[in-house]
Amino acid sequence: MRSTEYILITWIVPVVILFATGLGVFYTRKAVKVRKLQYITYYTSQIIKKPGVIKDNLKILYKDQLIDVIYMTEIKFKNTGNDAITSDDVIIPLEILYSDIEIYDAEVSEKKPEEVIVNLIKNDTSISMNLNLLNSGEYFIIQILSSSELNYKVTGRIKNIKISKMTKSNPIWFFTSSGVFLLGIFFLVIIVSIILIFSASAMKLSPEVTSGVASLLGGILGIVLGLGLHYVGKYRSSEFGTHENSD
């Protein structure tokens, strides 16, 4: 067999299969709509304490009452899906529920992009949020000042949207158990492919057999790459950042 034909069968064909499979999985994932809204306690801290010099030199009034303890809590809401959330999707508005606590103030402290519109309505037991539009990857942060540490619950109902709480930041995806498994399989298949291809050449197997082995290995690599792309996309869609607590 001529060297160009050998290269075409044993290397170019598997690479084309690998690339086509990965590209197909990537665009298929783009086409599938994932609708998800997640929230997390982005930051919490007691910013004014009872003891110390600050209390003696600083007086803060709320409804004509002197207060000397203030907690600040920031809750981040992010569209971690790949489809937009609009006001038409909202069946029951999002609410932050709490009890046995005085809420001094609540406002949208940060939003990305700045065009995101969120209107807050505060009462004794909840903060309601009227959302206009939140595209994929966009977020906003609600900053709440309270009389004690805020224990809250988020409720609401949005059409075809899963509202869930993110408990912590994710590690780098390939350091997770699934990431290590996929990378291990990927490199193992590559090593086995190289060994088998050179073994087929050394044993002078027929072009049909060599081509079949190469195509099979290319298909396996494509499947592994597709799983990897799916996992990375799923992981990246749920990424959150948090601040560390500080006193």
Q: Are residues 70 and 123 in the same domain?
A: yes
Q: Contact, 42 vs 243, CB < 8 A?
A: yes
CA gap 68, 55 in Å, rounded: 6
Q: Which ranges of the chain would DSSP assign to H, the alpha helix?
A: 3-7, 13-31, 53-57, 177-202, 207-236
Q: Are residues 100 and 116 in the same domain?
A: yes
Q: Are residues 88 and 110 in the same domain?
A: yes
CA gap 204, 198 in Å, rounded: 10
Q: Are residues 25 and 43 in the same domain?
A: no
- If you compute the radius of gyration of the chain from its CA atoms, what whole number of angstroms results? 27
Specify the higher pLDDT residue, 53 or 65.
65
Kind plus residue range of the DSSP H or E element containing 121: strand 118-122
Residue 198's domain comprises 3-32+172-236
Region 80-102 average pLDDT: 92
Q: How many domains does the chain have?
A: 2
Q: Contact, 194 vs 218, CB < 8 A?
A: no
pLDDT for res 216:
63
Q: Are residues 46 and 153 in the same domain?
A: yes
* CATH of residue 94: 2.60.40
pLDDT for res 237:
47
Q: Are residues 28 and 64 in the same domain?
A: no
Region 134-157 average pLDDT: 94
* DSSP label of 204: T
Q: In the structure encoding, which two tokens stand for residue 228, read together?
A: 């990897």
Region 7-15 average pLDDT: 54
Burial of 160 from C-beta contacts in 10 A (0-12 / 13-18 / 19+):
exposed
pLDDT for res 142:
97
Model confidence pLDDT, tens digit, residues 94-108? 999 999 999 999 999
DSSP 85-108: EEGGGEEEEEEEE--S--EEEEEE
137 in a domain, yes or no? yes
pLDDT for res 133:
94
- Note the pTM of the prediction, 2 decimals: 0.64
pLDDT band (50, 70, 90) for residue 22: low
Q: Are residues 44 and 105 in the same domain?
A: yes
Which residue is listed with tokens 């002197």?
A: 66
Q: How many Cα atoms sit within 13 Å of 231 on the Cβ side?
A: 18
Q: Are residues 112 and 228 in the same domain?
A: no
pLDDT band (50, 70, 90) for residue 19: low
165 in a domain, yes or no? no
